[in-house]
Amino acid sequence: MGTDATPPPHPDARPWPDDHRPTPFQAAVVAVVEALEPGELVTFSDVADQIGRPGSGQAVANVLRAAPDLPWWRVLPSDGRVYRNLAPIQVPLLRAEGHQVDDNRNVRPSPTPPQS
């Protein structure tokens, strides 16, 4: 997938209505995730901490299901394991960015992110 391609939608997408105005929390999550480069990985908790809302990892996940065109696959649970329902789409995307994913869906980050 090239950098100009539209990211695939989240498999559990519940998109915001067209007239939705993101809250400051939602806008902050979107900004952090939009800034992730190919090969970068963070956790839901990392994003929550980065925007000054520790403990709100589940709310971060909710934003990823609703906000369009985000590289949602670069955000993982704290244990580094891909959720079963996301695996069919997320695992190939992670592998394409150089990460290893084992049969138990555990992600081992690439030692060096691919160059864009």
Across-strand partners of 100? 108
Q: Is 56 left (phi over 0), alpha (psi -120 to 50) or beta?
A: alpha
Q: For each of the chain's 116 residues, which pLDDT tens digit applies?
A: 444 478 899 999 999 999 999 999 999 999 999 999 999 999 999 999 999 999 999 999 999 999 999 999 999 999 999 999 999 999 999 999 999 999 999 999 987 655 55
The pLDDT score that the predictor gives to residue 115 is 57
In this structure, the number of other CB atoms found within 10 A of the CB of residue 116 comes to 8
The pLDDT score that the predictor gives to residue 113 is 55
